[in-house]
Structure 1
Amino acid sequence: MHARFSFDQDSSEQTRNSYLKPDIVQQRQYTLNRLDLKRGESVLDIGCGPGLLVSEMAKQTGSGGLITGVDPSKPMLTMAEKLCRDQNNTHFQQADAETLPFENASFDVAVSIQVLEYVSNVDQALLEIHRVLKPGGRALIIDTDWDSLVWNHSDRESMLRAIELWESHCEDSYLPRKLPTKFHRAKLSVNHINIYPIINTSFSDQDYSYFLARSICNHLSDTLTIEQINAWFQDLVTKNDQNDYFFSLNRYVFEVTKN
Structure 2
Amino acid sequence: MGEVTPEDSIRSLHEVAASTPGRLMKQELLRLLKPGPGDTALDIGCGPGGDLETLAQRVTSSGRAIGVDRNPGHVRRGGPAHKGIPGVAVCLADAHALPILDQSVDRARAERVLMHVDDPSRVVEELRRVMTPRGRVVLAEPDWDTLVIDHPNPDLTRAVTLFLATSLIRNADIGRRLPRICVDAGFSLSLVTARTVVHRDFRSADAVWGLERVVAHMVDAGHLGPRTAPDWLHHLRSHEFLGAITIFVVAEAT
State the partner residue of 1:39: 37
Matches within 5 A, 1:95-114: 95-114=93-112
State the partner residue of 1:10: 7
TM-superposed CA distance for 1:26, in Å, is 2.3
State the partner residue of 1:3: none
Alignment partner of 1:250 is 2:253: no
TM-superposed CA distance for 1:78, in Å, is 1.9
- Matched-pair contact (CA < 8 Å) for 1:166–1:219: no
Structure 2 CA distance for partners of 1:8 and 1:62, relative to 1, 3 Å: same
Structure 2 CA distance for partners of 1:82 and 1:210, relative to 1, 3 Å: same
Q: Distance in 2 between matches of 1:215 and 1:32?
A: 31
Give the TM-score, by structure 1 length.
0.88
TM-superposed CA distance for 1:7, in Å, is 6.3
| Runs of 4+ in structure 1 over 6 Å off | none
TM-superposed CA distance for 1:158, in Å, is 1.0
**Matched residue type, 1:197:** T
Alignment partner of 1:233 is 2:230: no
2:61 counterpart (63, 74, 86): 63
- Matched-pair contact (CA < 8 Å) for 1:58–1:65: yes
Structure 2 CA distance for partners of 1:211 and 1:136, relative to 1, 3 Å: closer
CA RMSD of aligned residues (A): 1.9
Gaps of 5+ in 2: none
State the partner residue of 1:115: 113
Identity of aligned residues (%): 22
Alignment partner of 1:157 is 2:155: yes
Matches within 5 A, 1:213-224: 213-223=211-221, 224=224
**Matched residue type, 1:131:** R
Q: Secondary structure of 2:37's partner?
A: coil
**Matched residue type, 2:242:** F
Structure 2 CA distance for partners of 1:210 and 1:95, relative to 1, 3 Å: closer
Give the TM-score, by structure 2 length.
0.89
Gaps of 5+ in 1: 1-5
- Matched-pair contact (CA < 8 Å) for 2:33–2:108: no
**Matched residue type, 2:124:** L
Q: Distance in 1 between matches of 2:178 and 2:6?
A: 31
Q: Distance in 2 between matches of 1:89 and 1:214?
A: 39
Q: Distance in 2 between matches of 1:87 and 1:196?
A: 33
Q: Secondary structure of 1:249's partner?
A: strand
TM-superposed CA distance for 1:218, in Å, is 4.6
- Matched-pair contact (CA < 8 Å) for 2:41–2:108: yes
State the partner residue of 2:173: 174
Structure 2 CA distance for partners of 1:217 and 1:211, relative to 1, 3 Å: farther
